[in-house]
Amino acid sequence: MKISHLATERRNENSMNIDRMATIDLVQTINNEDKMVAVAVEKVLTNIAEAIDLGAERFNEGGRLIYIGAGTSGRLGALDAIELTPTYSVSPKRAFGILAGGKEAMYAAVEGAEDSVELAVKDLKDVHLTENDVVISIAASGRTPYSLSAIEYGNEIKALTISVTCTADNPMSRAAQVAIAPIVGPEVITGSTRMKAGTAQKMVLNMLSTGIMIKTGKVYQNLMINVQPTNKKLIERSINILMQALSVEREEAAKLFESAGNKVNVAIVMHENQLSAEQAAKFLAENDNRLVHEAYEK
């Protein structure tokens, strides 16, 4: 399919005169288009749920979440992966992004990298892709050679392959084991897929990674019990989580947090089962680090 035929490349009739609009009308036009993104994502929730369930299985078996893509799509994947470390204490070795053109492509365009089929294979070989891994390949058009090649190589290795695109019936969707394709339509600025398409991809990746984290026991109720307390804000958040989860006052929560070695999940188990920090840590290790009500019952 020619690029001019893609929905993401067509001209948007609602913004044809955006260069002559008053500023308030300009931003209203963009906002109206953005409202369509959540509706488009809603239509692919079944696919997202399937990707979460299959991805969680691989992750539980020791597999990695490998986000891969070019340009804006690749950067969105890298951003999602990076955030899993401070939020859920996921090792950067188990969730990371690969960008066409390497790390420098995070900050500047690397010409021609997205057109290389061989580069994607090399990049995945360099991280020793295995059948336990999850390859999340992202491209608004669904036809980027680098991103498509990543899926095809992932299938060869028998990894789980997931595509995140924004056009209908595209090569990446056809190749991936799970295809997620919210159709957002033409962009306000023709072809500028960092806008609606990028927003849709971010929403999908948020759901995908958060769902996998929930399914693998890194969330208790709706609290991030594996948060890394690496600064004052996150230390305070950790104490607040304990106050909310255990219905205790701040002073008690702070003492409990300190005695648990600054680990929220350990602190909760200590409090609920009246265990030492060492016993609580052992309990978690024996229960796949899961905090579930049933696990507390003696």
Which member of 83, 152, 252, 272 is catalytic?
Answer: 83
Note the pLDDT of residue 8.
77
- The answer to whether domain 232-296 has CATH 1.10.8.1080 is yes
| Residue boundaries of the structural domains of the chain | 8-215, 232-296
Q: 60: buried, middle or exposed (CB in 10 Å: 19+, 13-18, 0-12)?
A: middle
Q: Residue 295 — pLDDT band, cuts 50, 70, 90? A: very low
Rg (C-alpha) for the chain, rounded Å, is: 22
Note the pLDDT of residue 110.
79
Q: 16: buried, middle or exposed (CB in 10 Å: 19+, 13-18, 0-12)?
A: exposed
CA dist., res. 259 & res. 170, Å (int): 54
Whether the per-residue pLDDT at 27 is higher than 70: the answer is yes
Query: Which class would CATH give 8-215?
Result: alpha beta
What DSSP state is assigned to residue 13? G
Catalogue the E-assigned strands of 144-243: 160-164, 178-180
Whether the per-residue pLDDT at 294 is higher than 70: the answer is no
CA dist., res. 21 & res. 143, Å (int): 34
Instruction: Establish whether 42 is a catalytic residue.
Output: no
Instruction: Establish whether 286 is a catalytic residue.
Output: no
Note the pLDDT of residue 6.
76
- Asked whether the beta carbons of 172 and 148 are under 8 A apart, the reply is yes
**What does the pLDDT look like over 175-194, one tens digit per residue?**
999 999 999 999 999 989 99
| Mean pLDDT calculated for residue range 213-237 | 93
Whether the per-residue pLDDT at 4 is higher than 80: the answer is no
**What does the pLDDT look like over 117-131, one tens digit per residue?**
999 999 999 999 999
